[in-house]
Amino acid sequence: MSRISVHKLREWKAQGQRFAMITAYDYPSARLVEQAGVPIILVGDSLGSVVLGYESTVPVTMDDIVYHTRAVVRGTSKSIIVADMPFMSYQANADEAVRNAGRLLQEGGANAVKLEGGRHIVPLVRRMVDVGIPVMGHLGLTPQSVNQFGGHKVQGKTPAAAARILNDARALEEAGAFAIVLETIPAPLAKMVTERVGVPTIGIGAGPHCDAQVQVFHDMLGIYDDQRPLKHAKQYARLGETIREAVRTYVHEVEEGAFPTAAHSFDMDEATLGELTHSG
């Protein structure tokens, strides 16, 4: 069974067909996400926060992304797998950037890569596309630049900042990006960008007018339900409490001798048991 093509997404935009993208970072979550009908899975550098326990995405390495992308690819057969290019994997040197992007496809098995940034990365996007590497863009709040932004703040609120995002989106499309993530920008601006580019926009904290939406797996499932969710994250379940309660029950049953029972144990042939008893 072949995977969905990145070119299919542009057809969906033209047809007005909206779609969902979700992050996944390992084999079991990727299987579940694909089985639920998600056409695009992002192996995001958000794994630094939700899987590896870092305070931001900045410490995530190329080896981290390659490792987790391999697991996601093994758990899927239809979804497009997009791998994030982590901090400093493409900012310093164009040749190194292309090699790193190639690693994500060749070693990780990804179908595409995602880069943060606007006009300053356009030459790099064009070069990657020219050598056959599909590229997804990312504008607005770009988490790898969180230190520069001074936190997770809404971007594009002034006329100049909004115009810059709009122009950057057009430039990324012209460079060959097949889709653009819009993160934490005003909904009217996201609507304007969506209407003025021919490639799909994928919103996260960008309102309802984007062609698609993306959410972080752990946020939408309430894995960390003891943390205050971000404004743009909707919890569709509270699995954190469900998991804790299941483990509490297990601990209690072990301590009380209620688990395991005969139903969870393996028997032995009476003759063999008798022989062992007498030989002892």
The owner of tokens 């926009």 is 201
Report how far residue 266's alpha carbon sits from residue 232's, in angstroms, rounded to the nearest whole number: 50
DSSP letter, residue 86:
P
- Is residue 245 flagged as an active site residue? no
Annotate 148-166 with b (16+ C-beta within 10 A) or e (fewer): eeeebebbbeeeeebebbb
Beta partners for residue 180, in sequence order = 137, 201
First to last CA, the chain: 58
Q: In terms of Cα–Cα distance, which of 79, 86, 154 is closest to 111?
A: 79
Sign of CA dihedral 230, 86, 106, 18: positive
Report how far residue 226's alpha carbon sits from residue 248's, in angstroms, rounded to the nearest whole number: 17
How remote is the C-alpha of 198 from its chain's centroid?
23
The pairing of strands 135-140 and 80-84 is: unpaired
Task: Identify the active-site residue in 34, 183, 195, 253.
Answer: 183
Which residues form the catalytic set? 183
